[in-house]
Amino acid sequence: MKLKVCGMKYSDNISETGSLLPDFLGFIFWEKSSRYFDGEIPELPQTIKKVGVFVDADADFVRSRIAKHELNVVQFHGNESVQYCADFQNSGVEIIKVFSIETAQDFAKTEDYQSVCDYFLFDTKGKLPGGNGFAFDWKILEKYKSRKPFFLSGGIGPESIEDINKLSVKPFAIDINSRFEISAGLKNVAEIKQFKYDLL
């Protein structure tokens, strides 16, 4: 499984985390987040895909961040419509659409987005769009019947590795954030290194 480290904020910490060669690094462009990113992304190994995370953002703002930071992927974490996602299909970026999951019935919401996204991301329903720090019942994933690859997110910490490696329905990637932090946006690189090593 691939690894995405989200909520990056501080330049030196970004570089240090990047040296571990995760597959994706996520930068949050939503001002209400404690991990809001408004700096410059340092030079990273070319194998790492830079992900911009947006919540119901103006399309022009998204395009400006794509251009400024040379983003490879956009992650839509709000109530973005199918048409909104479709409008970015020819922007030279991959598209992740996030869905909050509580029961298997929530997978029905993904159906209309199948043709306009490259990936889905399944997160826990919570008060905030991401970074809530707790997981949903992963047994629900057995009810996911689509072939669309998905990221698994929500409350994943160092102790989650055994359960992740045992999943019968394999995520395309694991998305980690708040449970690997020293403070908001400042990642514990040693813990991420061990998690990446253990991830099958």
**DSSP codes of every residue in 138-173:** GGGGGG----S-EEE-SS--GGGHHHHHT-SS--SE
Tell me the average pLDDT of the chain: 95
Could you read off the pLDDT of 22-62 as tens digits, one per residue?
Answer: 999 999 999 999 999 999 999 999 999 999 999 999 999 99
Q: How many domains are contained in the chain?
A: 1
pLDDT at 4: 99
- pTM, two decimals, is 0.95
Q: At what angle do helices 11-18 and 189-198 cross, to 10 degrees?
A: 20
Could you read off the pLDDT of 102-143 as tens digits, one per residue?
Answer: 999 999 999 999 999 999 999 987 666 555 567 899 999 999
Q: 170: domain CATH number?
A: 3.20.20.70
Q: Which residue range(s) make up the domain with 123?
A: 2-198
pLDDT at 198: 98
